[in-house]
Structure 1
């Protein structure tokens, strides 16, 4: 659908569906649930159970909380209903409507939600205003960037809007315990430098402190390389590097967030071979599934990533330049 088609369909929809867009009747102010957000305030008369998920990863939080979304926004990957393997068991037999590309106001309205979760969706203020005439729209906290809400902050926010706070605290404690157990099991890794990098379309970059992937490494006790920390952050979550100088990502542990299709491009990256991490076998390669788990950075995907990354990190950080990191060998990153 073109932008002009989308605008036309929205105008037609608004003129012909006033009943669907009528503002909900709110209960007494004292019992309302109120959330400050990027575009104003979201008000819910009561916790919602019928929910549309427009954030690119918010389906994970909802499923973890026991809320089956009636609609899910597709991000990427070839997975049923946009739900990745770490969450499929929670979807069960449900068949939510999957939305791709630009948010369709008509589709959202047809699902008759009591709540629209749009944290990390990237919708505009105009789209927020339209959607708010269908149902309350939960955006990220105004203190957070569009895609930068910490996983636990986001989970608690969604839990409060769906009346599942107790479940959220149980989930948060379980994941925190997993991170703590990892740090305890690997005291020698604490304080070592680590970075999640990417290479796509001839451009190389790294994910910065406000990003889910960088936060994941921080939760494990790693720190970013000093030179990387000094670089400018773009859109609150990443930075790009000069093709002639990749030294800002030369860390004790270099994690490539990528896919099988891009492995050859990374392997052939000339300046990568100037990095000590490359020469000493301290690179870990994340295929699309593992890169997806890191990128979702959710209460469900992070334990999935931990299980698979621990042996990879162990091979990369064992102090033996001759040891082989399985994922690096599979991706063709070895000399």
Structure 2
């Protein structure tokens, strides 16, 4: 079996690739498991050294849209496509054309490439909680269910929702076996901040653990829906293995979310690394970021995901301790317990 991952050198793409390679096989769409022979990582940057050293990994470097236009992706030879590449929320608000090119145009080009390949590969599209947005004109319900109407309030959410509909229609036409999954905000991400409005939901923990100051632009009582990196990848892989009967409707599946508040996240940090860590958080409001974050829902009832055997993380403290265990080189403060 050959697999292609867009955004394959990024944080989630690399973690997905490592997980699949460690498994060694994959049971696509309910079929018997097949050995994984090749994983194609499409990205602007080279993959991490451990992935580059794996003989099963084939990096393809360059702009996704340009590679698709040139016919450079081996779509005729892959059985599964994981489409993770995207411009993130803050970037899309700052640069409308970037968001449209990266999140809408590239998604349609990729679907067209799969259509031309002619064998209906499994196509997992990483959508987002940002397809839901609250507004005075159309309030969100207290709890988001699988049938709740998406009402995006920013360019990123709108582009992701359009992508879901494209995947659904290409599935209806038999061009791909589509699996739309709505990811929650992933925390704690290692590395440096990115352009997402939600980037601080990792930075306010990651930077203090490294002995550096971090800014939190929203109030402590702000509620958020989170998922750990590991739980997010489990959900993405489970989408690829679900049979059409298990998956059900062509609409997107909301992955399970841990509901917490930003203040509770800071409390978890204090339990893990003490007051020295929380003293490094600067609570500096940013109205633009707060507007985006508070428009997103924080409570979900993901019955379809639960039927697939997926569950939310146990607690944010557990997520934080997983980050410390997985990234010891990035933690400079003493950790309790």
Decide: shared fold, TM above 0.5: no
TM-score by length of structure 1 reads 0.32
Q: Structure with the greater relative contact order (CA < 8 A, sep ≥ 6): 1 or 2?
A: 2
